[in-house]
Chain A
Amino acid sequence: MASGASVEFDRSTSTSSSSSSPHPKSKSKDKTVTLTTTSSDSSHKVSSATLMKCEKVTTKVGGEPPGPSKSKTFKPPENWVDAPEFVPSWLASSTSSPKTSASSEGDSFGSGELPSYSEIVGEKIGAEQDASSSVVTQALPILDSTSELCPYAMVGECRYGYKCVLLHGLKCDYCGQSCLHPSDATQRERHMKECVEQHEKDMELSFAVARSIDKICGICYEKVMSKNPPGEQRFGILPSCAHCYCLSCIRRWRQARQFDNKIIRACPECRVTSDFVCPSRYWVDSKEEKEKLIESYKVALSKKPCRYYRNGEGQCPFGNKCFYLHALPNGTVVDVGPPRRISGAQGRVRTTAQTLSIWEYIEEWEMQWLDIEDFMGMFDSDTTSEFSLPDMDDDLDGDDELFLDWDRM
């Protein structure tokens, strides 16, 4: 108990903690040896008093807990903390919590020889003069793990320097900010983890930019990332092939009604059919990236209310195959069942040119800012009842689940 108390005592007088430089530590060991030998030899009061002082110095500077043999001879002062202690004003607030804990401990010390303030301070100064004051200044910011990090030092420079009442963290190699808590390992770990994650994200982004920057649209022949206005700097990713187009060009191509559906749904370069175009800010090279992108696109679409369904007021010809949200005004998502046939009065004359796919619907909707008028005109000329669906067996079997081809009659 006494040894623990002496440690507390040590912390309260000098703010140096147990993690000071090794030099004074070794010094304290030497003195401990002296102490044990002398105490066995003689029991002079004078010598024991000096030893006591010596030990005080050692614990103060080295911070090493005294051995059990010492604790017998050494009785810490009862209420030395009540002495008018010199605490620098810039240190006052940061040392307040250990001081109070020490004072409460100090009461339980019981009786003992009480060194005067000048003794303590004098010894302290004497010891620290050679133990170098840098030990103190180095140790100063190291408080307990709950101490806050100085936000100024974190982002660059704190004008209080080492005198700052807040902790100045260690520099993080990733972000370059002094934001690693010197004594809180979990904080450091957490920060490093965040930093690594951020770093990975940044790397990913720069890779994405690097692989996108020189990509040329196969339709307008311009570098997609250099298109003007910047709003045009978007890629239109085709799920079925790896040819590169800007979003506006590939969408416009897929709107080219003068051609057969098969033609415009195919990649203009390789003629491989893609059911939709996925917008993307960056070019995607790998299969995994592409799948991730397309998945997130579908998720995004599924949150937009369907314009045919109109919150339950209308009917969506694509039924539960529609990629948009079918929900009632109260937010309930409704399964409207499979696509249904809405029969028209006309004869069953089908032409391939009139074929409409759900993906066209999506694409046209997604490009509202371009030529929504054309799109609307297409439907306004007929009534919605003319929307009719083909024989389901023919069109759904063997077809990609994501794709439906509806005939307009």
Chain B
Amino acid sequence: MSILVDKSTRVVVQGITGKEGSFHATQCKAYGTQVVAGVTPGKAGQDVEGIPVFNTVHDAVKKTSCDTSLIFVPPPFAADAILEAADAGIRLVICITEGIPVNDMVKVKRALAGRDVRLIGPNCPGIITADECKIGIMPGFIHKKGRIGVISRSGTLTYEAVNQLTNLGLGETTCIGIGGDPIIGTGYIDLLGMFEKDPEPEAVVMIGEIGGDAEDRAAAFIKEHVRKPVIGFIAGITAPPGRRMGHAGAIITGGKGTASEKMAILEAAGVRVVKNPAEIGKTVQEALSPRGGV
């Protein structure tokens, strides 16, 4: 099993004729993902490497029964693209776009509340279920079907962690980048719950960073509801307060959201907190070894 996406997932790529969209649609397809449609307004009838292009997500759903959307639309239009996907009945929307205005996301989040649609991102690398389907921009080849679920606010740092897991022969089930923006569709808690229920993953790696209190709330959830080992890393112990570290959401404000504070809260909730990002894989291995359950 896996969470959210698998071999049967049917994907539409919004913004498929753009440079990023066409490249990654092709890459996802090559990985084995069923990329069944693309959308670019005004370009219906064209195709991208054999993937048919439609004018609207509605048309794509009607013609191809796609159920999941991958968005590469530029920031000024991305909020509209997310809402279009939801409106067309897409159940899972994965938005890669970086740089969407926060107030646009405030409205999107409100509009999606209570509806039967899940948003992942924005400003994220997407989702991959190892050796089944890749819906995002991550390098597929570093993933190997295995035993660990991964949730992360970052992109390349996730690849770093995944690479360590793969090299140690642990492998991954599903890896999700939840995004580095202040307002995101799906947070740690929902995904931790899914990994806990899914019989496949034996442990969960959770990669956070400075800013906000999402990790603090996740810690409370882990303490109450997660029995599987959780291995955590928080990036930004050296980050100064008040400065945005690349990601729009990675900023320490009013002395809140520091890495050391988050690490302490996670540790208190029973999470194995890794201080050295080079040791994420090793720590997972220790947690899973018969004597590691101390």
Asked if A and B are interacting partners, one says: no
Show the binding face of A for B, using Cβ within 8 Å. none
Show the binding face of B for A, using Cβ within 8 Å. none
